[in-house]
Amino acid sequence: MTSQQNYGYPYPPQGQAPSQQPQYPPQGQNGPPPQPQMQSQPSSGNQGQNFYLIAFNDHTIQAATAYKVEGDQIHWITREGQEMQAPLASVDIRYSQQINRDRHVDFRIP
């Protein structure tokens, strides 16, 4: 990863992660599993919310205009248009979901 940006979301104290089960999209019953697709924010009049925040275990947060999970990797597009990737295990999924939910942004990682 390149430069780290802080978007004003401090990390919660240890042991205070939200208790929410991850949400998984339904899988088809027939045929091969669907290919991962890039999740992107729909255009809206609210320009301050047109990106996702991805929190990492090293206490950094990356802004993304789109993201997808392929195998054990997360891929995302930065607000500057740069393609990035990192191991999914390095993502703090619960905190990522919380900070996006607080901003009314639907962020799902299977």
| pLDDT tens, the chain, 110 aa long | 444 554 555 555 554 444 444 444 444 444 445 455 556 554 444 445 689 999 999 999 999 999 999 999 999 999 999 999 999 999 999 999 999 999 999 999 87
49-102 carries CATH number 2.30.30? yes
Contact between 92 and 56 (Cβ < 8 Å):
yes
6/58 Cα distance (integer angstroms): 13
